[in-house]
Every structure is written in C-alpha cells, then in structure tokens.
Structure 1
Amino acid sequence: MIEYILKVFFIYIATLFKFIAGPVLGLAAGLSALEMLVVTVGGMMTTVFSITLLGDWFRANWKLGLTKKKKVFSPKTRKIVTVWRKYGVVGVATLTPLLLTPVGGTVIMNAFNVKKEKIFLYMFLSAMFWGLIFSFSIQYILEIPLIGDLLR
C-alpha cells in the first residue's frame, strides 16, 4: 500500500510542473486511466491554485525583476501577446497542457489580469479535456495486441 501511495505521490509532484507527465508516468507505474486522470488534473490544478492565489502576494511583497530593465517586446513576449489577442483565456487554457506548462499558462493568465474564477474554471476544463484524452488514449493503445505487448 505504501508503495502505491509513493508512486501516486511522485507522479502528482511531476504533474505540478509538466501535465503530460501524469499519463506517461501513470502508464509506467501501471495506474488505470481513471487514476491517471485524477492525479494529472489534481497536480495541474494545485499549481494553478497556488500560483493564482500566491501571485498577488508575490507582486506585493517581492520586487521581482525590477532591478534591471528588460526589453518590453522580445520574440517570446510577442508570441504570447499574439496568442492572447487571437484566442484569449480559452486559447491559453487549451494550450497549457499541450505546449505550456501549468506554471506557464497560469502566469500568462495572471499577467493579463484575468479574474481568478475564470482562471480556475478554464484551466480545470482544459485539464479535464486533455486528461481524458491522454489517459484513455494510452489505455486504449495498450489494448491493441502488438503495440500493447511492446509497451508493457
């Protein structure tokens, strides 16, 4: 039992920083699709809640990055602004599990002053959508006779 709890705990810790780690490590650990989904969504949402709720405190109490002037528009920030203008909150939330990390997507939404409730809702819906797709597609792939035997 302790072995199972440790497996789930370390997969949860990995999903705090990278969404796809949940289904991939869950597959390696032998978790079911539902277990992978719960751990993956739980890890991402822990990061979203932590960054969103602590973000105001960090801005108020820490002078992060104010010591030297940065370029306002670097190629990276231009891409972020372009995605934001084109797709908004829904686009950033949708891209977070695929391209961004839970940390990156949440920081972008907080930087554009999105209401906390919207951040929580859209990130949860995105995590559930992609978590279902990743977890159950991995489970389905394992049931294919030749491929499933190779991956086990």
Structure 2
Amino acid sequence: MIGMDTLYDAEGVVAYALVFILAAVPWIELLVVIPPGIALGLDPLAVALLAFSGNLATVYLLVYAHHSLNSVWKRFRMGEEHRPSSGKKKKVMNIWDRYGLPGLALISPIITGTHFAALIALGLGSKKYPIVLWMSLSILMWTIVVTVASYYGLESLKHLLE
C-alpha cells in the first residue's frame, strides 16, 4: 500500500506523482502531504499544485458520482429498517443550520476531510454546484495556507539551526 513512507523513499517524478496520489486519498489529503513534500526538498509550487489537484479531483469524482452511489446504497438498504439516532441527527442539523455549506467546506480538512464533508453536504441535500464551488475554495485556501506555513516554517527552522 502506498503511504507516507513511500513518499519519503521516492525521488524525482515518482515523488511528485505520489504527492498527487496521496492528496487524493481520503484522510491523508493535502494537510498531511504538503509539509513532508516540501521538507523533502520538492518544489513548493509543484507540491501545492499537485496536492490541490489530487484532492480536488477525488472530491469532484465523489460529488458527480453521488447519484450512482446513492442508488446503490438505497438498493442495499431495501428491506432494512433504519432509524438514525435522533440525538446525533439533531447535532448534525444544528451544525449545518448554524454554519451551512461554507462552514462545513472551510473546516472540513481539519475535522472530517474534504471527501467525507462533500458526502455529508450531498446527504443533507445540497446541490452539486455549490458543493463543488465551496469545496474548491476551501481546498485552495488550505493549500495556500499549508504550503506557505510549511515553506516558511522550514526556512525558519533552517535559519535557527545554522
């Protein structure tokens, strides 16, 4: 299985390809891929672009494949009686009512991951276009913040160690 150790051992084009692939994997995503990529000496701009693209590609795939996934899920669940816990449902709805899609999208890389957040938004009835818009903006914002913090944090550490 491809993991962070594989990234540490990779060189050249393979390392850049792994940044893209690992950023696309749910729960690894760009927050976990960008700092090591920059620390390994990869070009920060390339790392940022590849991490952004990888993460965004799979979020788009999930959003646009949701209809198919949802119909399979409904067929699988046919015959089962499913009643979500009213307490859990109430908490989720309170958060959703308070912050909505923009709040979910902006906090998702830290709390749930972007992939799961997109599925939550779809499950709560959001339309595809607003989800894609807010998730794209969120992923872009986090890519910039994490890239800048990683690059300048590493540079500051280098200066302290000199």
Segments of 4+ moved more than 3 angstroms: 64-71, 74-79
Report Cα offsets for 1:37-91 as digits up to 9, x if no partner: 2122112211211111111012224424445444412665444322211100101
Question: Could you say what secondary structure the match of 2:109 adopts?
Answer: coil
Q: Indicate conservation of the 8 Å contact 1:92/1:105, yes or no.
A: yes
Please list every run of 5 or more consecutive structure 1 residues that lacks an aligned counterpart in the other structure.
Answer: none
Paired with 2:103 and 2:39, the residues of 1 have a C-alpha distance of 30
Task: Give TM-score scaled by structure 2 length.
Answer: 0.78
Give the counterpart of 1:41 among 52, 64, 71: 52
What are the within-5 Å matches in structure 2 for residues 135-146 of structure 1?
135-144=147-156
What are the within-5 Å matches in structure 2 for residues 52-67 of structure 1?
52-62=63-73, 63-66=75-78
Map of 2:130 onto structure 1 = 118
Q: Indicate conservation of the 8 Å contact 2:105/2:114, yes or no.
A: no
Task: Give TM-score scaled by structure 1 length.
Answer: 0.83
Work out the percentage of aligned pairs sharing the same amino acid: 23
Please list every run of 5 or more consecutive structure 2 residues that lacks an aligned counterpart in the other structure.
Answer: 1-9
Give the counterpart of 2:18 among 10, 16, 24: 10
Q: 1:134 to 1:82 in 2, by over 3 A?
A: same
Q: Indicate conservation of the 8 Å contact 2:48/2:143, yes or no.
A: yes
**1:31 to 2:33 alignment:** no
**1:128 to 2:140 alignment:** yes
Give the counterpart of 2:33 among 22, 31, 38: 22
Map of 1:81 onto structure 2 = 93
1:33 positional shift: 2.4
Greater share of residues in helix: 2
1:133 positional shift: 0.5
Q: Indicate conservation of the 8 Å contact 2:39/2:154, yes or no.
A: no
